[in-house]
Structure 1
């Protein structure tokens, strides 16, 4: 069972993915999670900046577990894409990636927003690169392919949300999966 603080961090990630950073506040989080307002201020004395940073870290922690549980680069890719597909479907296309929301709103958030989004994407890049290298893909190729996977998935999620269909995600995923499979096969 999740504790109250963990529930609030997960709730903040959900709110950011649905509404963006601008519409997410400690007060709104209390309403969203049903937590007493005093508790939210107790757990997040750094206010919105702390809330955003912890929500982004929470998302990245989930991605790390997801990729770490995968037996191969293709399994990791499939799990990564499926996590976005599930998010889109489970929210009726009302949510997308909270990290992307933070990155796109970073100029309004100042240096802390830019930093937390940059660190999250760099972390994902490192995890995906390591998974690709683990399957024998050369370091330079793995790094380039990892950025391609992240950019492709993030863009496809935005398109899927706007189209209210997984078709863009499915199409991009199919093409990227071929690229990953070809890269793995080339070193096998």
Structure 2
């Protein structure tokens, strides 16, 4: 028998994946319950305020997953260009089997809910900011000035989010791979 935290975790995993792949409006609570294998009462026990609360927690769950993965690459790979490319390649590899995508950033959910749910919008903004900060810190550690690193972190995150949306739309990872390939052009000083 699964313990309570396992049930909550399974609901969050399922909701996160479905919100990322289908969006907020196309994902129903009944589908989350069915695919997670959880009893209906569990969903309402853990998320008594319903779908919006579940979506907020799913974004936080996804954000932590991505932060951990992104920080891992930044810690393990000394060169910032190679570290960022490795993270993008890892993300792109998930498009080999899109039905099993995990931890794709939250751009789809953000674009769909930004004008209708201030709490959801804010949790997405917080997630984006955390990822941008991780990227900026890696650049700062490698000699890029703070202000410039913050701007480049924002640019890189925007490119990755855009690449993910285009890869989802095309059912092809080419956009992400192209972004990874062009990172040296963006981060290499000339002259």
- Scaled by the length of structure 1, the TM-score of the pair is 0.85
1 CA distance for matches of 2:87 and 2:50?
30
Residue of structure 2 in register with 1:43 after alignment: 46
Structure 1 consecutive aligned stretches of length 4 or more whose deviation exceeds 3 Å = 92-98
Question: How far apart are residue 81 of structure 1 and its match?
Answer: 0.7
For residues 65 and 59 of structure 1, do their structure 2 counterparts lie closer, same or farther at Cα, with a shift above 3 Å needed? same
Q: CA deviation at 1:120?
A: 1.0
Q: Is residue 2:154 matched to residue 1:151?
A: no
| Within-5 A mapping of 1:49-128 | 49-70=52-73, 71=76, 72=78, 73-91=80-98, 97=104, 99-107=106-114, 109-128=116-135
Contact 2:60 2:127 in 1 (8 A): yes
Residue 85 of structure 1 deviates from its aligned partner by 0.8
Which position in structure 1 is the counterpart of 2:168? Answer: 161
Contact 1:13 1:98 in 2 (8 A): no
Q: In the alignment, does 2:21 pair up with 1:18? A: yes
Root-mean-square deviation (Å): 2.6
For residues 65-111 of structure 1, what are the alpha-carbon distances to aligned partners after superposition, in whole Å with 9 as ceiling and x for unaligned? Answer: 11222333234312421232132222169899451122111245321
